[in-house]
Structure 1
Amino acid sequence: MRRHVVAALCCLPLLAGCSRSKDGHYLYASNCGICHHGGQGMAGSVPPLVRRIDKIAATPQGRAYLAAVLINGVSGPIRADGQPYRAEMPPFRYLADTQIATILSWLSEQGGSAPAPAISAAEIATARAHRIGAGDVAAMRAKLDQTNPLP
């Protein structure tokens, strides 16, 4: 059911006259922006993404975590920008590896890092080959946060 709602909502940017090109902004808006909005998220419910993804993507472990989030979803408590969230994000496996890499790289570019870390399609393919549960992704985040504090 959710997939059909997401598919219907994905058409809204096209109705508003957005470009049909598959650039990062378009892919983000039509897939992630439904919940995360312009990247600011929703206080207490959906964590912000802008000015955070670039910091997480600065290490190989961070990029592996970001790939795992989009491939497997995430379920469980997390902290972002010091605020608690009870994250329930669905997987976005239906997107191609290049599309997920484009979204994550575009989000990374929205941060303050120069140059912004890029996420490759090969990193996404690795995450896709090693499918884990959404709760395990939250545990992966907690472990990563211990060794490399996440924003």
Structure 2
Amino acid sequence: MKIVTGRMASALRLACMASTVVLLAGCTRYGQHGYARYRTNCGICHHGGEGMKGEIPPISGRVDRIAATTEGKQYLMHVLLNGLNGPLDIDGVHYNFSMPPFRTHLSDEEIASILSYLATRGDTQPVPVFSAADVAAERAHPMTTSMVAEERRRLDALHPLP
């Protein structure tokens, strides 16, 4: 029994080490900070990025695709800074939710790190990166949640958003 237990413990240690290496390899310079900020501020609703069907939209595998254009990057910064209200249709699923603004809770660097981390959760290469300066420029122009929703509708009409 001790041999089996010892082998199992070794296998578990090896699996943990391998998982850690894979996780760290996926980190950008914003990775650890962005992940920590995501978990604390966004993860409570968006969970692991998968959201909750019909309740909270998924964000994994979408942020990078939206951020592929300059307008998309601006929109994503607007969402975190100003919040978002209203109905969304994503991959044929209808969502009607309210996301709070993080303008007063998070710094420019924190918002940039969250968005940069989320961009690593997709397949877009090169991975879009957000800077604190980008966020500061958008912070200078406050918007209502309704204005952000209208921006999304305009962008979606130009090139459908995931």
TM-score class, shorter: 0.7 to 0.9
Other structure's SS at 1:35 match? helix
Aligned pairs for 1:127-146 (under 5 A) are: 127-146=138-157
Give the fraction of aligned pairs with identical amino acids, expressed as a percent: 50
CA distance in 2, matches of 1:91, 1:134: 8
- Secondary structure of the structure 2 residue equivalent to 1:88: strand
**4+ residue runs over 3 A deviation:** none
Q: Equivalents in 2 of 1:145, 1:76: separation in Å?
A: 15
- Between the aligned partners of 1:49 and 1:22, the Cα distance in structure 2 is 18
SS of the residue corresponding to residue 79 of structure 1 reads strand
| 1:54 match: secondary structure | helix
| TM superposition shift of 1:82 | 2.7
TM-score normalised per structure 1: 0.83
The equivalences for 1:51-66 within 5 A come to 51-66=61-76
CA distance in 2 between counterparts of 1:111 and 1:91 reads 24
Structure with higher Rg: it is 2
TM-score of the pair, normalised by structure 2: 0.78
Most deviating of 79-88 and 45-54: 79-88
- Secondary structure of 2:137's counterpart equals helix
For residues 1-151 of structure 1, the aligned pairs below 5 Å read: 23-93=33-103, 94-151=105-162
CA distance in 2, matches of 1:95, 1:22: 16
Q: Would you say the 8 A contact 1:57–1:119 is kept in 2? A: no
RMSD: 1.3
Q: Distance in 2 between matches of 1:112 and 1:50?
A: 10
- Report deviation, 1:76: 1.0
Which amino acid is 1:83 matched to?
V
Distance in 2 of aligned mates of 1:38 and 1:75: 21
